[in-house]
Amino acid sequence: MSAIEELALEFAKLPGIGRKTAMRLTYHLLKQPPEASKRLAGALATLSERVHPCGTCGNLTETATCAICTDPRRDASLLCVVEDASDISAIERSGEFRGTYHVLGGRLSPLDGVGPDDLAVEPLKRRVAMGDVREVIVATNPSLEGDATAVWLQRELAASGVSVTRIARGLPVGGDLEYADVVTIAQALSARRVMA
């Protein structure tokens, strides 16, 4: 196989990148100075060597414990449970959350063979049992499986006496009633709040 086909093949393995885009990316790099490909190659090579899960929350980090867990200004009594580490950066970008996180490592998904034993619920229970946690916010995705996982988590944590909450559902900011799906509209209506 030629070097061009080889690189295009590797690009095409990435999510959302088809054969044509993979070729376009490859030809783009061929038009750039060789340093462009080399920098990308270097960043890829060091990625898996430097990055691993945080020993406390499961967030991806280059240190033993991640920057959020070690930050004394973060509220450790507020624990936000997410499916994946990538969800943490999405929430962090909102700048609204000052608590800490716990990465579940997925969601209950019988069809994909993901059961309770595949998710990091025991480490979560241990963190809650240590007594410092006041509230667990379940921020699994607002999907069927994410919701089922939330209900299951709530039951798992019920004995501990901690308060378990779920992120709100409703119309997204900038959304349009006309184009919203009926389930979202129904949820936005039933979760309506008194205006201050």
Q: Which residues bind its own copies (CB under 8 A)?
A: 2-4, 6-7, 9-11, 13-17, 21, 23-31, 34, 36-51, 60, 62, 84-86, 89
Cβ nearer to its own copies, comparing 62 with 75: 62
Q: From the CB of 63, what's the least distance to its own copies, in Å? A: 10
Cβ nearer to its own copies, comparing 35 with 178: 35
Cβ nearer to its own copies, comparing 109 with 165: 109
Cβ nearer to its own copies, comparing 112 with 132: 112
Tokens (6 digits) for 7: 């690189």
Cβ nearer to its own copies, comparing 47 with 158: 47
Name the phi and psi angles at 91, rounded to 5.
-70, -40
Kindly write down the DSSP assignment for every residue of the chain, as one continuous string. Answer: --HHHHHHHHHHTSTT--HHHHHHHHHHHHHS-HHHHHHHHHHHHHHHHH-EE-TTT--EESSSS-HHHH-TTSEEEEEEEESSHHHHHHHHHHT---EEEEE-SS--BGGGTB-GGGS-HHHHHHHHHTS---EEEE---SSHHHHHHHHHHHHHHHTTT-EEEE---SPPTT--GGGS-HHHHHHHHHT-----
Cβ nearer to its own copies, comparing 16 with 174: 16
Q: What is the spatial distance between Cα 24 and Cα 7, in angstroms, rounded to a whole number? A: 11
Q: From the CB of 68, what's the least distance to its own copies, in Å? A: 13
